[in-house]
């Protein structure tokens, strides 16, 4: 987990008063435009966690611990012929017992972006910061899009998602969701240039450049990414090819989607050539199927994930993990520590307004697992209420039972969590 933005962004030479002036000017300019579409999302997200005795946070806090996140997202869209202007502004308040503690990998329930230390544009501004609370506002989208014929160009802060994974995302190199993330309405944006070309046969090419800052917050090509992905149809299936220069590594990938009876099978295989010349291969294969269980619409999937950067056995201290793994954990590209996993999940519609989803993630090395289930109530398109639990099964020192920090005596993670999320659009 990265440091909090009040620390990581302190070296950037931009006065707070100047930054607030520009954000007010941008909001005023966009809201005064003609033909503007404005949407608003309100979100309230709360969790309660029962910490095991060996958890590091339990050494300082009682159990259970409670955390809360409230957010108002203003979404502006303005079409001017073939040009579209996009801007999303969020005002967020986070509070609770766990604010000063890092979460264990794989346990991110609310993946709200809180800083821009590694992005080119620093578009996050603190309002108030305390020991158990923090409020800030940020621009998570700020982009210009051009569409004409088969061409498309996007410049600015926008989100992009690649790959065929349901739970694990080895092909998604740019802010993938963690396996247990509940809030997936909006993916965090990056500062990028995306060029798209749609061909007459239905195939398409995407060329992407993502700019970032290095650990010293300097803009450098070695911290950024340059990638191209080609998508085409092969018979009844689809094929994707990826080539990228990502940070200091070379990445090559292939993705497949094809029908298998009444189901659909997907697969991504990613080969990464490291800076020292070594290679690591990761990949997923999954199968999903929809059917009727009595009068209830039902959907099931299974997914296998091989993490080429993972380990066969967890060390007694995270400092002993391979650097290639910890770098990706720190950048938010990976959320799991070991090599092989299997996930089984799906959802069932109990009533037109009520659905339930579930996912069981099993670590095939240490035998620990994580069960997550969510009940969704949607009275209409404008409102959604979700509540659920995440229950780990494992011993201290297992990945889902509690990642060892000082052997099995002090761990991180392994908490049983309940959560409640309310979203309203208007």
Contact 199, 231 (CB under 8 A): no
Instruction: Give the integer Cα–Cα distance in Å for 226 and 58.
Output: 43
Q: Which domains does the chain have, with CATH numbers?
A: 5-425 (2.40.160)
Contact 335, 108 (CB under 8 A): yes
At 66 the pLDDT is 94
At 139 the pLDDT is 95
Could you list the pLDDT tens digit for every one of the 426 residues in the chain? 333 333 333 344 344 444 554 555 555 565 555 678 999 999 999 999 999 999 998 988 889 999 999 999 999 999 999 999 999 999 999 999 888 775 544 456 888 888 898 899 999 999 998 888 999 999 999 999 999 999 999 999 999 999 999 999 999 999 899 999 999 999 999 999 999 999 999 999 999 999 999 888 888 888 999 999 999 999 999 999 999 999 989 999 999 999 999 999 999 999 999 988 899 999 999 999 999 999 999 999 999 999 999 999 999 999 999 999 999 998 889 999 999 999 999 999 999 999 999 999 999 999 999 999 999 999 888 999 999 999 999 999 999 999 999 999 999 999 999 999 999 999
The structure's pTM equals: 0.89
At 23 the pLDDT is 57
DSSP secondary structure letters along 288-319: EEEEEETTEEEEEEEEEEE-TT-BSS--SSGG
At 61 the pLDDT is 83
Contact 76, 38 (CB under 8 A): yes
In terms of C-beta distances under 8 Å and separation of at least 24 residues, what long-range contacts does 196-204 make, across chains too? 196/151, 196/152, 196/153, 196/154, 197/150, 197/151, 197/152, 198/150, 198/151, 198/152, 199/150, 200/150, 201/232, 201/233, 202/232, 202/233, 203/230, 203/231, 203/232, 203/233, 204/230, 204/231
For strands 36-50 and 237-246, give the pairing.
unpaired
**CB-CB neighbours of 1 under 10 Å:** 12
């Amino acid at each position: 987990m990265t440091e909090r933005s009040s620390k990581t962004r302190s070296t950037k030479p931009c006065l707070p008063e100047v930054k607030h002036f520009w954000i007010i000017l941008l909001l005023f300019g966009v809201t005064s435009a003609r033909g503007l579409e404005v949407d608003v999302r309100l979100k309230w997200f709360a969790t309660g966690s029962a910490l095991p005795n060996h958890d590091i946070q339990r050494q300082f806090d009682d159990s259970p611990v409670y955390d809360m996140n409230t957010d108002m997202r203003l979404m502006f869209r303005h079409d001017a012929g073939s040009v579209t202007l996009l801007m999303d502004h969020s005002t967020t308040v986070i509070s609770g017992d766990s604010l000063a503690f890092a979460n264990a990998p794989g346990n991110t329930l609310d993946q709200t972006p809180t800083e821009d230390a590694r992005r080119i544009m620093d578009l996050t501004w603190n309002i108030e910061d305390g020991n158990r609370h923090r409020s800030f506002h940020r621009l998570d989208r700020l982009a210009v899009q051009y569409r004409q014929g088969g061409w498309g160009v996007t410049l600015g802060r926008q989100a992009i998602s690649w790959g065929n994974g349901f739970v694990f995302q080895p092909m998604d190199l740019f802010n993938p969701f963690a396996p247990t993330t509940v809030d997936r309405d909006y993916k965090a944006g990056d500062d990028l240039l995306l060029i798209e070309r749609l061909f007459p046969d239905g195939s398409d090419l995407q060329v992407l450049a993502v700019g970032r800052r290095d650990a010293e917050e300097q803009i450098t090509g070695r911290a950024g990414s340059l990638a191209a992905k080609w998508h085409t149809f092969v018979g009844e299936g689809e094929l994707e090819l990826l080539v990228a220069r990502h940070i200091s590594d070379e990445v090559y990938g292939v993705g497949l989607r094809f029908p298998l009876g009444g189901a659909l099978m997907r697969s991504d295989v990613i080969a990464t050539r490291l800076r020292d010349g070594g290679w690591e291969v990761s990949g997923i294969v999954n199968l999903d199927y929809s059917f009727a269980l009595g009068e209830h619409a039902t959907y099931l999937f299974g997914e296998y994930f091989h993490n080429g950067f993972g380990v066969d056995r967890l060390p007694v201290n995270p400092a002993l993990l391979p650097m290639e793994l910890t770098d990706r954990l720190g950048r938010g590209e990976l959320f799991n520590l070991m090599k092989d996993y299997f996930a089984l999940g799906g959802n069932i519609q109990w009533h037109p307004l009520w659905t339930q989803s579930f996912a069981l993630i099993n670590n095939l090395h240490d035998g620990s697992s994580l069960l997550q289930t969510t009940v969704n109530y949607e009275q209409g398109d404008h409102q959604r209420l979700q509540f659920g639990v995440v229950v780990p099964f494992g011993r201290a020192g297992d990945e889902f039972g509690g990642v060892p920090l000082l052997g099995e005596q002090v761990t991180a993670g392994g908490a049983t969590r309940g959560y409640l999320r309310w979203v309203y659009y208007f």
